[in-house]
Amino acid sequence: MVFRIVAAALCTLVASAALADAPYGATIAQQGNGHGVAPCMACHGADGGGQAAAGFPRLASLPQAYLLKQLQDFTNGSRANATMQPVASGLSDAEREAVAAYYSALPIPPAPPLLTPAGADAQRGHTLATRGRWEEGLPACEQCHGPAGIGVGEHFPPLAGQSAVYLSNELRAWQQGSRHNDPLRLMQSVAGKLSDADIAAISAWYAAQPAVVAREPKS
Ligand code: HEC
Ligand code: HEC
C-alpha cells in the first residue's frame, strides 16, 4: 500500500517535471532566468535560428542531449567560450535541462536562400563531406554527421544549414584546443587534419545544405 502511494506520487512528480521543462525553458529563452542570465533569443534569434553573420548558431531542433551537454561543457570549461561560459554557468541544472528541452522541440525556422558554393571549393567541400581523405586517415564527415550533415541520433549534431562563420569557428576551436569536449577526441583528430582551405570549403558546403529534422520526434 505504502509502496503504491509512493510509486504514484513519484510518477506524478516525474510527469510534472517533464511537462514543466519546456514552458520554463521558453521563459528563460525569452526573458532570461531572472538571476543575471540574458534571454537566449537576444543572440540566438526569436525563433532559435541563430544569426549567421555573427556566428551565433541555430539551436532550434538540435538534439536535446546534445544541447544539454554543450551547456554543461561551457560550464566545466571543456568548451571554452567567453560569451557562452557566463551564460551557461549562470543557469541551474534544472534551467539547463529546461532550456535544452525547449530548443530541441522548436521547429527548424525558415532559412534565407542558401548560397550554393561553386567551382573548386564546392568540389573540395563535397569530397571532404562524402569521402574524406583516407590516405591521411581523415574519414568522411558524413560517416558521423549523416548524409548532407543532417545529424545522427542525440550525439552527432547536424551541420546542415549552420552558418559558415559558426562552423569554421568550431573547427578552429578544436584545432587550437579551446574546444576539447568531444568524446574520444573524435573531432580534435578530424580538425587537426584540415587546412585553412579545407575549413573554408567544408564550412561553406555545409552552410549550403538544407537543415532537416533527422531524428524521430520524441513522444
Ligand atoms: C550574448 C550572446 C549569447 C547569448 C545571450 C546566448 N548565447 Fe548561446 N551562443 C553564443 C555564441 C557566440 C555561441 C557559439 C560559441 C562558440 O563558438 O563556441 C553560442 C553557442 C551556444 C550553444 C552551442 C550550440 C551548438 O551547436 O553546439 C548552445 C547550446 C547555446 N549557445 C545555448 C544558449 C542558451 C540556452 C542561452 C540562453 C540561456 C544562450 N545560448 C544565450 C552566444 C549567445
Ligand atoms: C568519427 C566521428 C566524426 C567525424 C568523422 C566527424 N565528426 Fe564532427 N563531430 C563529431 C562529434 C561526436 C561531435 C560533437 C562533439 C560534442 O559533443 O561537442 C561533432 C561536432 C562537430 C561540429 C560542431 C557542431 C556544433 O553544432 O557545434 C562541427 C562543426 C563538426 N563536427 C564538423 C565536422 C566536419 C567538417 C567533419 C569532416 C571533415 C566532421 N565533423 C567529421 C564526430 C565526428
Distance separating alpha carbons of residues 87 and 93, to the nearest angstrom: 13
Consecutive 10-residue runs of the chain (219 residues): their mean pLDDT? 42 44 91 96 97 96 97 98 98 97 94 77 95 97 97 96 96 97 95 98 95 65
Looking at residue 19, its pLDDT comes to: 47
Looking at residue 215, its pLDDT comes to: 62
Q: Which residue CA neighbors atom 31 of ligand 2 most closely?
A: 187
Q: Which residue CA neighbors atom 33 of ligand 1 most closely?
A: 40
Q: What structural domains and CATH numbers belong to the chain?
A: 2-104 (1.10.760.10), 119-207 (1.10.760.10)
Residue matched to cell numbers 549567421 = 52
Q: Cβ atoms within 10 A of the Cβ of 173, count?
A: 19
Helix (H) or strand (E) holding 216: none
How large is the angle between the packed helices 164-176 and 196-207, nearest 10 degrees? 140
DSSP state string for 169-199: HHHHHHHHTSB--SGGGHHHHHHHT--HHHH
Q: Which residues of 41-73 are buried (b: 16+ CB within 10 A; e: fewer)?
A: bebbbeebbbbbeebbbbbbbbbbebbbbbbbb
Whether the CB-CB separation of 145 and 152 falls below 8 Å is answered with: yes
Counting from 1 in the atom list of ligand 1, the atom nearest the Cα of 170 is 17
The reply to whether ligand 1 has any atom less than 6 angstroms from the CB of 32 is no
Looking at residue 20, its pLDDT comes to: 52
CA of 116 to the centre of ligand 2 (A): 21
Counting from 1 in the atom list of ligand 1, the atom nearest the Cα of 55 is 12
